[in-house]
Amino acid sequence: MCEFFKEGTEMDKDPPTTNTTVDPPPPPEDNTTPDPLLQQPSPQDDDRISQILSHYASSDTPTPLPAHLRRAAPTPEELADLESSLVNHPFFITQSQIDALSPSEPLPPLLDALQQLKYSPDENTPLELALNYKTDGLFQFKMGKYRIAASIFSEAIKTLEQSGEKNGEEEEEVTAKIDALLPTLYNNRGVCQFHVDNFRSALTDFKKALKLKPDYEKSWKKGIECCVKLEKWEEAGELLEGGKSVGMKDVELEKKILMGKGNAQLSRHKEKSAKAKLTKEAFVLMERIRKSGVKMLNANFLQVEGGSDAVVRIDADELVWPVLLYYPEYSTSDFVKEFRETDEFLPHLHEMLDVEPPNWDKNHEYGSADVDVYYVDGQRGGWVMIEEGTALRDVMRQERYYLPTNGVPGFFILSKKSEFCKFFLERMK
């Protein structure tokens, strides 16, 4: 027996050949007690298991675990340690934690190694880097972080485009993979821009994707959707025709474009008609103003686009003006939207100063009977006081009155009781 075990210790050698037939040793006797868990359950065991399961299913209060299976609940300190270890583990660390690290502070060794493995240009080819960025971008997109996803896809695009400039021609297989990946990256970035309403940037990306891959149906559709959002109906129609040339079919998009084009044409027609009508009305109104004898510093004030809604108009063959009344002592003003040319100043002043006295008139010096009305002398400068009882059209016909460039007559209100009146008139001569 000793010789047998001695020869068998060298596993890399074959045992010696002999002609002697040796009977195999008898199997060792098994004196151990059989493991009940390894034995086939008996019918009685099946019944017992069924009873236990029925008990757990029907009992409102579950039977407690045996003592040797129980584990004490973790303490608050243990939970805090576990949370800290998870938060700081490289696999769970967030970008904000990385950004919070000081530039002079090195990354944790394991995290640094993982970053190097995934993003280092020394450890990855440009294609591998771009694929890593693509994976991260898709993850951020699914999380709803569209701006972050767009920036990640931008890194992937930059990596591939710069790799071509630096390394020259790639191998044919790698070049084919890059050519297939770039339009996908442009399309994905465009989708991210679309989700944050950057429709112009998104449209640019979809066009780039289509330039690299003309049969990219997704980019055709998303590009058309961008044009719809931007109301670029002509360009949307061009993209639709381009998509159809590669087999794209989308009835809903086609309906939107047709309706958009129709509405745009209708809007242009209405706008053109409105301008023509405005031009005609403005011409009639300007002739009426000239006939009233008003001298104007700007004869085209009615043609200013985007001007105020408060403009002169004709009502019952009378000019109705918007008028500004300035109170220089208190740097405030009142606006009379409809001041008929036959109206005098006193009724309007009474309504604004007497009916409900202004809160800025602390000294009660600005009643309608206590004020004088002035306008700027358009010929020599200085001030011209308006006599009481003079109508607006009579004032505007005076030799020294000129209508301001914005077409809104303006007058200055000064109190005869205030010391400011004399000071202001002297200073502004």
Whole-number pLDDT of residue 11: 36
Contacting residues for 209 by C-beta, under 8 A, at least 6 apart: 183, 184, 186, 187, 190, 216, 219
User: CA-CA distance, 103 to 93, in Å (whole number)?
Assistant: 17
Model confidence over 217-236: pLDDT tens digits? 999 999 999 999 998 988 99
User: CA-CA distance, 374 to 215, in Å (whole number)?
Assistant: 74
Contacting residues for 386 by C-beta, under 8 A, at least 6 apart: 345, 372, 373, 374, 375, 395, 411
Question: DSSP character for 309?
Answer: S
DSSP string, 43-78: HHHHHHHHHHHHHHHH-SSPPPPPGGG--PPPPHHH
User: CA-CA distance, 82 to 88, in Å (whole number)?
Assistant: 10
Total H helices, total E strands in the chain: 15, 6
Compute φ and ψ for 421, nearest 5 degrees: -60, -50
DSSP string, 90-101: TTT--HHHHHHS
Residues of the chain with pLDDT under 50: 1-22, 24-25, 27-30, 32, 35, 37, 165-169, 304-307
In angstroms, the Cα distances linking 395 to 93, 391, 405 are 78, 7, 17
Whole-number pLDDT of residue 21: 47
Query: Which neighbouring-strand residues pair with 334?
Result: 325
Whole-number pLDDT of residue 283: 81
Q: Where are any strands of DSSP class E within 129-280?
A: none
Q: What is the pTM of this model?
A: 0.44
Question: DSSP character for 302?
Answer: G
Span(s) in the chain for CATH 1.25.40.10: 114-262
Which CATH number applies to 301-427? 3.10.20.90
In angstroms, the Cα distances linking 159 to 172, 264, 421 are 18, 42, 74
Q: Both tokens of residue 269?
A: 């027609």
| Region of residue 412 (phi > 0: left; psi between -120 and 50: alpha; otherwise: beta) | beta
User: CA-CA distance, 162 to 126, in Å (whole number)?
Assistant: 9
Which CATH number applies to 114-262? 1.25.40.10
Determine the distance from the C-alpha atom of residue 93 to the mean position of all C-alpha atoms in its chain, rounded to a whole number: 27
DSSP string, 324-369: EEEETTTTEEEEEEEEETT-BHHHHHHIIIIIS--TT-TT----GG
Model confidence over 148-187: pLDDT tens digits? 999 999 999 998 888 764 444 457 788 888 889 999 999 9
Per DSSP, the three-state class of 260 is: helix
Span(s) in the chain for CATH 3.10.20.90: 301-427
User: CA-CA distance, 71 to 74, in Å (whole number)?
Assistant: 9
